[in-house]
Structure 1
Amino acid sequence: MPQQDFDVTVLLNYYAPYVSGLTETARVVAEGLAERGWKVAVVATRHEPGLPEQEIIGGVHVFRAPVLFKVGRGPVSPGFLTLARRIAVRSKALHLHLPMLEAGAIAAIAPRIPVVSTYHIDLWLAPSLTSRLQIAAVNLSARIALRRSSHVVVNSDDQAHHSLHWPSINSVPWSSIAAPCLDPRGGKPVYRDGDGHHVGFLGRIVPDKGIEFLIQAFRRAARPQDRLLLGGEHDTVAGGSNIARLHELVDGDPRIRFLGPLKRDETRDFYASIDTFALTSVAESFGIVQAEAMMCGLPVVGSDLPGGRVPVVETGFGILTRPRDVPGIAAALTDLRGFPAAQKRSLAEKARSLYSAESCIDRYAALFSRLSSRQTVDIRRALPMAVEE
């Protein structure tokens, strides 16, 4: 174990190279702090066997615990808590990303260290034999972690007030910090196919993203020259993908194309290739991709969900529809074809000012600085059993 004292240790189940809204928030904030000279560690699980146990990514020290097996989205890693404890003892503050089954136990092992919990979303799982039990266990852990936290961060007030855990969030100091969005402008329209109106989705190909309803709506509303581009990972997503079901719904329609996972430069090209972005989720806490689309001047069809509707509500850059409402989504796709160009430019500037990564990192840095300055005990003495030289 390196003799390293960390300003902040970030704890979550999945970390880079895994990509989701939660992991991207954790990564962008962690790397942003590291770029400013902070010493940052991440403790996660080794969700893919080929990943190293330790490495440095973007200036961040990443430690991974082996995984025995997975239950749905949740990795089972007996060594995760031990590893978290070993790194926590060398840290001035902890940053938990919830929902996470181990969150309550982690918050309990560091009672004298400031704990910031970023609560992303109430857990949603597709119905199964074990999903209700998994949700109940994760919710219990979340309540414990939230109530033990020095401070709770949510993506928006809307998300917080509508959460199942609002009483726990409101029992401690809390604030809303919009998820960090990287400006994805500057790409080339390499995925464009003809002069029709191009609609795009980018994200994990999973049931909670509501892609099946987008496909049905597009096929209802689209003209022969229109296209639907679907980008995102489906082979290695936690909990499994619904890609087979989506191919059934596409039914060979040549206007609909699956792009697979896209690297950062490729996402710039993706945004440059479309005219409207669609995030028709059935569960969503913010939707970084829809805010990034707005930054590129793209109107959004979004879902009217607590938290997930915030970017459209705050900017006015799109149309909200009820989750699973295929006719409503189809109507919105049609209406946004004629979104005024001048309005696109002004609303894109508004989105960039509201959701920039730098603003998010500024606020986290101020929060950790304030909380850490209150820490007067010797952390190693506070948790002597955790020290393993």
Structure 2
Amino acid sequence: MRVVLIHYRDSASLGGSLRVGELLGKHLGRFGTEPHFLFAYGGPGPVASSSGVPCHFLCAEGPADPQGWRNARRILRQVDPEILHFINPVFWLSLALLDWRPKVLHVHGPMEPGRTRLRDRVIWRSFRYLMSGYVCVSQNMRQKMLAAGWSREENAWVVYNAVDCQALARVPARDEARRLLGLPEAVRVLGFVARQVPEKGCFDALELLAQLPSRFHLAYFGDGPLHQDLRRRAEGNGALFQRVHFRNTQDDVRPVYGAIDYLLFLSKTEPFGLTIAEAMACGVPVVGLAGEGGYREPEFPLVTEETSVLSPRPDHEAAWGETPAGLLSELAERIVRLDEDSGRRGEMSYKARSHVREFFDAPRQVREMVKVYHAVCQRQRRGG
């Protein structure tokens, strides 16, 4: 079987979706599937340079670029795949390939139909008629798709995300990682690894840092629409700003997890929590606030009380308001207690690493994805 994995662009700024596609591309060959990457915009980036998978670039200038449409059809005639897997929802490309079946769409989220713009709701409803199936990263995400009427029971599958545990076992030593990233050595670093958007709780991280002892520093890794506002907020408090570090999105996340002492997770909603899985695979303790999302699903939990320190947020709707100061104070106290208990940290890291290796390692995800490919192709042959 030959599959084309479709992304917006080959750029680490895409965050988790690029890493999901890259992981699939690197491992599908072991399961009898030949992968190709197709990028709608831009040129070669981290995937092209390191994945070893054939990469094709449309170099489209936008959705209305006729050359992009022609390039897509020309490349796919050459590759001749059995299935198209849209890792990102490139709507115009699904229209350009309207007669090309089967197509599946990866649903990463966050999916909040009630908070989605009308234009985007129309696009997602249109995908129902353009796609042969959906791959959701959690049961929570699948239920949201069904409730919104954006998919049907029979063509929505759940394939949990995974990480490459073998690759993540090779992180740089702490001193080397901090030197590479320009972080101070003799401090405790909370790493905020996420796009800087409202649902990630970016400003809560600053409020939390203000309640922690001065030995704690905060490092933001990534970018997003809130980046400048975050900088201004941090700069407004001179003493606090000395403990805040802004770093770009990293093509290779291993130095990040080698450099930080804790992953700080504050998302108000999170479909899966890929950075949680990455941190756990690297033995980095996860601390923060637990909002709504698939990473705590009882059927297949990514985090448990034994593998993380997560204080529960208020109910889902309340979580979108201002985070109660008392909740951040409680979290600060829990982090300090954990930091003072090296035995507990070591046990947590060991259990977290073992849990991810058993349930969220790459081969497990890829095996399930190949099953979906075969199921979709079989339904297509039957005219479903």
TM-score range, shorter chain: 0.7 to 0.9
Partner of 1:66: 59
Higher alpha-carbon deviation: 19-28 or 92-101: 92-101
1:290–1:300 contact (8 Å) kept in structure 2:
no
2:69–2:93 contact (8 Å) kept in structure 1:
no
Distance 2:302 2:293 in 1: 11
Distance 1:102 1:355 in 2: 33
Partner of 2:134: 152
Consecutive unaligned residues in structure 2, runs of 5 or more? 314-318, 339-343
Q: 1:196 to 1:122 in 2, by over 3 A?
A: closer
The CA deviation string for residues 190-222 of structure 1, in whole angstroms up to 9 with x for no partner, is 326455542111233444433122112222x21
Q: 1:272 to 1:66 in 2, by over 3 A?
A: closer
- Among 257, 265, 274, which residue is 1:271 paired with? 257
Distance 1:103 1:46 in 2: 11
Partner of 1:386: none
Offset, 1:163: 4.2
Counterparts of 1:119-158 in structure 2, within 5 Å, are: 119-122=107-110, 135-158=117-140
Question: Does residue 201 of structure 2 align to residue 210 of structure 1?
Answer: yes
The CA deviation string for residues 10-48 of structure 1, in whole angstroms up to 9 with x for no partner, is 22323345541112112211232146563322222223x
Question: Does residue 302 of structure 2 align to residue 305 of structure 1?
Answer: no
Q: Which amino acid aligns with 2:56?
A: F
Question: Does residue 200 of structure 2 align to residue 229 of structure 1?
Answer: no
1:213–1:326 contact (8 Å) kept in structure 2:
no
Partner of 1:385: none
Offset, 1:270: 2.5
* TM-score, with length taken from structure 2: 0.76
Distance 2:40 2:332 in 1: 40
Q: 1:103 to 1:334 in 2, by over 3 A?
A: farther
2:142–2:156 contact (8 Å) kept in structure 1:
no
**Any idea what SS the aligned residue of 1:168 has?**
coil
Offset, 1:360: 0.8
2:40–2:60 contact (8 Å) kept in structure 1:
yes
Q: 1:44 to 1:242 in 2, by over 3 A?
A: same
Partner of 1:3: none
Higher-helix-fraction structure: 2
Counterparts of 1:282-301 in structure 2, within 5 Å, are: 282-297=268-283, 298-301=285-288
Q: 1:280 to 1:68 in 2, by over 3 A?
A: same
Offset, 1:122: 4.7
State how many pairs are aligned: 346
Partner of 2:341: none
1:188–1:272 contact (8 Å) kept in structure 2:
yes
- Among 353, 356, 366, which residue is 1:348 paired with? 353
Distance 2:287 2:152 in 1: 31
**Any idea what SS the aligned residue of 1:227 has?**
strand
Offset, 1:154: 0.6
* TM-score, with length taken from structure 1: 0.76
Offset, 1:159: 1.9
Partner of 1:366: 371
**Any idea what SS the aligned residue of 2:293 has?**
coil
Partner of 1:116: 104
Partner of 1:85: 73
Question: Does residue 246 of structure 2 align to residue 246 of structure 1?
Answer: no
Question: Does residue 230 of structure 2 align to residue 262 of structure 1?
Answer: no
Distance 1:160 1:373 in 2: 21
Higher alpha-carbon deviation: 362-371 or 319-328: 319-328
Q: Which amino acid aligns with 2:155?
A: P
Higher alpha-carbon deviation: 241-250 or 98-107: 98-107
Distance 2:48 2:254 in 1: 27
Distance 1:282 1:368 in 2: 32
Q: 1:217 to 1:107 in 2, by over 3 A?
A: farther
Q: 1:103 to 1:280 in 2, by over 3 A?
A: farther
The CA deviation string for residues 148-177 of structure 1, in whole angstroms up to 9 with x for no partner, is 533321111012223476433334332211
Distance 2:185 2:267 in 1: 28
Question: Does residue 14 of structure 2 align to residue 15 of structure 1?
Answer: no
- Among 189, 193, 199, which residue is 2:174 paired with? 189
Q: 1:180 to 1:102 in 2, by over 3 A?
A: farther
**Any idea what SS the aligned residue of 1:347 has?**
helix
The CA deviation string for residues 93-114 of structure 1, in whole angstroms up to 9 with x for no partner, is 111235443365257322xx32
